[in-house]
Amino acid sequence: GYVTVNGNKWYNLGGDQWADGRYLVEGTTKSNITSVEDMSTVGQVHYVPGYGIMVWKNPGSGMLGRYLAHGSRWRVFKKATLSNGTTWYNLGGDQWVDGQYLKLEN
């Protein structure tokens, strides 16, 4: 839960541990996912040459610390749409990428 102090939310982390809501970012939960559909295609990373995009454990949360290089191609198995309208693609297992950086092949 949280309490509001001077218009600012403070979240209880358990016991006497509190976090200032101004420094927290809302993560993705299963309730944030509005649809998931199976697919079988290939996508190519379109980002910045020489850089890569982050791979996530879940759509929008759980950074894995791995990156996929600009221009690399990957098989795509699922598409998830979140309540905020963003699209995420599954590359197998618990590996998701932000759809804005993946161009799907037809």
Residues 34/46, Cβ–Cβ less than 8 Å: no
Q: Measured at the alpha carbon of residue 26, what is the angle toward residues 20 and 27, in degrees to the nearest 5? A: 130
pLDDT tens-digit map of 71-105: 999 999 999 999 889 999 999 999 999 999 999 99
- Residue 60's contacts (CB-CB under 8 Å, 6 or more residues apart) are 27, 28, 32, 82, 86, 88, 96, 98
pLDDT tens-digit map of 49-63: 999 999 999 998 888
User: So where are the chain's domains?
Assistant: 28-104
CATH class of 28-104: mainly beta
**Mean pLDDT computed over every residue of the chain:** 90
Q: Which two tokens stand for residue 7?
A: 């218009």
CB count, 10 Å around CB of 58?
A: 17
Q: pTM, whole model, 2 decimals?
A: 0.72
